[in-house]
Chain A
Amino acid sequence: MNTTIFIHIIRFIGILLGQVFLLKHIDLSWGGFNYIEIFWYPLFILLLPFRTSQPVLLLLSFVTGLAVDSFYDTTAMHAAALVFTGFIRAYVFELIQPRGGYDITHSPTKYRMGMPWFLRYTAILMGVHLFFYFSVEFFTFVYIVDIMLKTVFSFILSMIFVLMFMFIFNPKD
Chain B
Amino acid sequence: MRGILGFLIRRSGLLLFVLLEVVSFYLIIRFNETQRLIGLTSANKFTGYLYKQYDALTDYLTLGRQMENLQVENARLHEQLLIWQTSRDDSLATDTPPTATTERSDSSQFASTLRDSLQFIPVRIINNSIAAENNILTINRGRKDGVEPRMGMMGVDGIIGIVRDVSDHYATVMSLLHRQTRISATVGEADFFGALRWEDRDPCYMWLTDVPKHAEIRPGDPVRTSGHSFIFPVGILIGKVEKVFILEGDNFYRIQVALNNDLSRQQFGYVIRHSRRAELSSLEQRIAQ
The answer to whether A binds B is: yes
* Count of chain B residues near A, Cβ 8 A: 21
Q: Which residues of A contact B26 (CB under 8 A)?
A: 76
- Residues 183-201 of chain B: 1 if any A CB is under 8 Å from the residue's CB, otherwise 0? 0000000000000000000
CB of B146 within 8 Å of the partner chain: no
In the complex, A62→B25 CA distance in Å? Answer: 12
Closest residue of B by beta carbon distance from A79: B24
CB of A59 within 8 Å of the partner chain: yes
User: Which residue of the partner chain, among A54, A58, A75, contacts B31 with CB atoms under 8 Å?
Assistant: A75
CB of B247 within 8 Å of the partner chain: no
Q: Which residues of B contact A83 (CB under 8 A)?
A: 17, 20-21, 24
- Residues 47-69 of chain A: 1 if any B CB is under 8 Å from the residue's CB, otherwise 0? 00000001100110110010000
CB of A102 within 8 Å of the partner chain: no
In the complex, A107→B254 CA distance in Å? Answer: 109
Please determine whether B38 and A140 come into contact, CB atoms closer than 8 angstroms. yes
Q: Per DSSP, are chain B's interface residues mostly helix, strand or loop, or mixed? A: helix
A45 smallest CB distance to B (angstroms): 13
* Count of chain A residues near B, Cβ 8 A: 20
CB of A97 within 8 Å of the partner chain: no
Please determine whether B32 and A77 come into contact, CB atoms closer than 8 angstroms. yes
In the complex, A95→B19 CA distance in Å? Answer: 25
Q: Which residues of B contact A74 (CB under 8 A)?
A: 32
- Residues 11-51 of chain B: 1 if any A CB is under 8 Å from the residue's CB, otherwise 0? 01110110011011111101110110011001000000000
Closest residue of B by beta carbon distance from A58: B16
Q: Which residues of B contact A79 (CB under 8 A)?
A: 20, 24, 27
Closest residue of B by beta carbon distance from A142: B38
Known A-B contacts A80-B28, A87-B13; A139 and B21 likewise in contact (beta carbons under 8 Å) = no
In the complex, A62→B17 CA distance in Å? Answer: 10
In the complex, A80→B17 CA distance in Å? Answer: 10
- Residues 56-74 of chain B: 1 if any A CB is under 8 Å from the residue's CB, otherwise 0? 0000000000000000000
Q: Which residues of A contact B17 (CB under 8 A)?
A: 54, 58, 83-84, 87
Q: Which residues of B contact A119 (CB under 8 A)?
A: none
Please determine whether B35 and A139 come into contact, CB atoms closer than 8 angstroms. yes
CB of A136 within 8 Å of the partner chain: yes
Known A-B contacts A77-B32, A83-B17, A139-B35; A55 and B12 likewise in contact (beta carbons under 8 Å) = yes
Interface residues of B, Cβ cutoff 8 Å to A: 12-14, 16-17, 20-21, 23-28, 30-32, 34-35, 38-39, 42
Query: Known pairs A75-B31, A76-B28. 12 more at Cβ < 8 A?
Result: A55-B12, A55-B16, A58-B16, A62-B23, A65-B24, A75-B27, A75-B30, A77-B28, A77-B32, A79-B27, A83-B17, A139-B28
What are 29 A-B contacts defined by CB distance under 8 Å? A54-B12, A54-B13, A54-B16, A55-B13, A55-B16, A58-B20, A59-B16, A59-B20, A61-B20, A62-B20, A62-B23, A62-B24, A65-B24, A74-B32, A75-B31, A76-B31, A77-B35, A79-B20, A79-B24, A80-B21, A80-B24, A83-B24, A84-B17, A84-B21, A87-B14, A136-B35, A139-B28, A139-B34, A139-B39
